[in-house]
Amino acid sequence: MVQTLLVANRGEIACRIFRTCAAWGIRTVAVHSDADENALHVRAADTAVRLPGATPAETYLRGDLVVKAALAAGADAVHPGYGFLSENAGFARAVLDAGLTWIGPPPEAIEAMASKTRAKELMGVAPLGEADVTEADLPVLVKAAAGGGGRGMRVVRRLDELPAALEGARAEAASAFGDGEVFVEPYLAHGRHVEVQILADTHGTVWALGTRDCSLQRRHQKVIEEAPAPGLSPGLEEELHGLAVRAARSVSYVGAGTVEFLVADGRAHFLEMNTRLQVEHPVTEEVFGIDLVAQQIRVAEGHALPVDPPPARGHAVEARLYAEDPARDWAPQTGTLHRLDVPPGVRLDTGYTDGDTIGVHYDPMLAKVIAHAPTRAEALRRLAGALERTRLHGPVTNRDLLVRSLRHEELAAARMDTGFYDRHLPALTAPAPDPHAPLAAALADAHGRSRFGGWRNVPSQPQVKRYETAGQEHEVHYRHTRQGLAADGVRVVHADAHTVVLEADGVRRTFEVARYGDEIHVGGTRLTALPRFPDPAAQLAPGSLVAPMPGTVVRVAEGLAEGAAVQAGQPLIWLEAMKMQHRITAPATGTLTALHAEPGQQVEPGTVLAVVRETPSQERP
């Protein structure tokens, strides 16, 4: 039996596995990079071992260091989590060769299915050859063979874009998974992403644990998932289960895995088999009332599964909470997470707690929030309400996007597909700040600034404060009076440094205010305090291209130099941050007048990378 388990991973999934281990009396070992020295998963483990370095290639992708850590800490088993080395057959063999228990499928099954190209061949689906792609095949998807999570993926709609897409996908895949192999397949823009959770033991039993719909995706990475997948016919669901079990049996699979499909025109198209636990496994756990991590451990210990899985009950929906700005091309965000407080009634899986730092080296997912209810409509409502009431103080997140998505009519009617955000992102990210939030922030800030409350026995001029929220500036006016603080159009019922109560048109509302330097959170609205008189020196030259996030310059467009002519939207510079590459494009057609970026350069947000002087339209050829 497993006594001490090392998790070869970090963040949310490591914490989630440790939770099961604690319930089962299993001692735990964490590994951590230097950047993760004080991370929650390190604090949650009984023992921790340092992996020197910060990047994945130096740390979590070093299987030899992870095995040494397991032996040094006295672990007798290793769980890979998801991502990193979870689908690396060589790592699985190294764990077994060291005399440790591997909480996962046999290395041979990983080899057969972890490479998506070989998996397709096994299932009778041939990927396209790079040299064979024609105009008739477009659009196509370039995809990493060794991993998932949207990394190493590029949609190609023109043939001349294919070489750059292949190059970028290979680089991103090598950085994230240690394997730069990619392949090309047809791209179906409006299908549904449906998958089947499987669980198999060493005695020949294979469970197909229902279905999941993971169609709401950004950059081919899932955002909202649910179980069961709604609206499937009984025949199609039976076909999906049969194909998933066939895939598992074809490689003598053991443990938990997922078989993924694209469903279009009522047909199932095999995508891949993930030989590991999935990020979205909690929705299956909630519906079937089981602990998949516990089952993984029991299977690895040789226990047999019952012949039939438990019955499904109700519906579950999961939302991935990211530190990112959907309105700015999903740019990842960094900084201090001051507060993460999710109301009761939903499940929270997270690798962060109050005061933790969101760094630049890893995926920006803060947490997964999961709601289970008797019906789908109730689960959607419960999750949207919980996210809306979550106290989330820190960098910009996708929380508002999640709430709007969960309440969208297409999702409610189960008419969503993988093109959902392509169609609806502008509406879902349109600024909609609470109109009273800036006033509440100003009143809370004004409270107690004067020992006499700021009132004078002469008429006073209004006080003025400026805030920025969702890219918009707001100027607030209020006054100190004999009765206290006052503002036009509302009645100030109460105001202190943390709570403001306002009454407008007979409706009273209470605002909770928290301030961290110039960052203020009023309920669910995030504001930045602005100086009353902006510093003219802080203005950037027109056409400046600035780094939207901290990261590393990995590439500059070939031949790019000062004086070069550029076209609006032309990619000029590539940044790598949080295991993804981000393109910096020309804001207008014109001339590059300055270039400050070079490969390998570390940059901070706001760093000027280049300057483009726009060519007036009348001067363009």
The pLDDT score that the predictor gives to residue 293 is 98
Q: ∠ CA(11), CA(13), CA(15), 5° rounding? A: 70
Q: What does 44-78 look like in DSSP terms, one character per residue?
A: HSSEEEE-SSSSTTTTTT-HHHHHHHHHHHT-SEE
Nearest-angstrom CA–CA distance, 285 and 209: 9
* Tokens, residue 60: 């979590």
| Cβ contacts of 5 within 8 Å, gap of 6 or more | 17, 21, 26, 27, 28, 29, 75, 76, 77, 78, 79, 103, 297
The pLDDT score that the predictor gives to residue 364 is 92
The pLDDT score that the predictor gives to residue 460 is 59
Q: Residue type at 572?
A: L
- 575, 386 in Cβ contact below 8 A? no
* Tokens, residue 283: 């929705």
Q: Which helix (H) or strand (E) holds 295?
A: helix 292-300
Burial 581-613 (b: 16+ CB within 10 A, else e): bbebbbbebbebeebebeeebebeeebebbbbe
* Tokens, residue 195: 């998958």
Nearest-angstrom CA–CA distance, 258 and 274: 5
The answer to whether 276 is a known catalytic residue is yes
- 72, 61 in Cβ contact below 8 A? no
| Residue of 154, 276, 526, 555 with catalytic role | 276
| Cβ contacts of 88 within 8 Å, gap of 6 or more | 63, 80, 110, 114, 146, 177, 178
Compute and round to an integer the Cα radius of gyration of the chain.
26
The pLDDT score that the predictor gives to residue 5 is 98
Query: Could you give the domains of the chain?
Result: 4-103 (3.40.50.20), 115-186 (3.30.1490.20), 192-428 (3.30.470.20), 437-530 (3.30.700.40), 540-619 (2.40.50.100)
Note if the bond before 228 is cis, omega within 30 degrees. Answer: yes
Please state the pTM of the whole predicted model: 0.85
Is 408 strand, coil or helix? Answer: coil
* Tokens, residue 431: 């600024």
Is 101 strand, coil or helix? Answer: strand
Nearest-angstrom CA–CA distance, 361 and 84: 13
Nearest-angstrom CA–CA distance, 571 and 604: 20
The pLDDT score that the predictor gives to residue 148 is 66
Within 10 A of 410 (CB to CB), how many other CB atoms are there? 14
Nearest-angstrom CA–CA distance, 615 and 552: 30
Spans of the chain below 50 pLDDT: 451-453, 455, 537
Nearest-angstrom CA–CA distance, 4 and 213: 35
- 317, 44 in Cβ contact below 8 A? no
The pLDDT score that the predictor gives to residue 168 is 86
The pLDDT score that the predictor gives to residue 436 is 95
Closest of 109, 88, 76, 114 to residue 301, by C-alpha:
76
Q: What does 166-203 look like in DSSP terms, one character per residue?
A: HHHHHHHHHHHHS---EEEEE--TT-EEEEEEEEE-TT
The pLDDT score that the predictor gives to residue 130 is 80
| Cβ contacts of 260 within 8 Å, gap of 6 or more | 193, 194, 195, 270, 271, 272, 273, 274
| Partners of residue 584 on adjacent β-strands | 573
The pLDDT score that the predictor gives to residue 452 is 44
| Partners of residue 519 on adjacent β-strands | 516, 528
* Tokens, residue 409: 């009519």
- Provide the strand spans (E) within 324-423: 324-325, 331-332, 335-337, 339-341, 347-350, 356-358, 365-373, 391-393
Q: How far apart are the two ends of the chain, measured CA to CA in Å?
A: 75
The pLDDT score that the predictor gives to residue 147 is 66
How are beta strands 221-227 and 255-264 bridged, if at all?
Answer: unpaired
Q: What are phi and psi of 503, to 5 degrees?
A: -125, 125
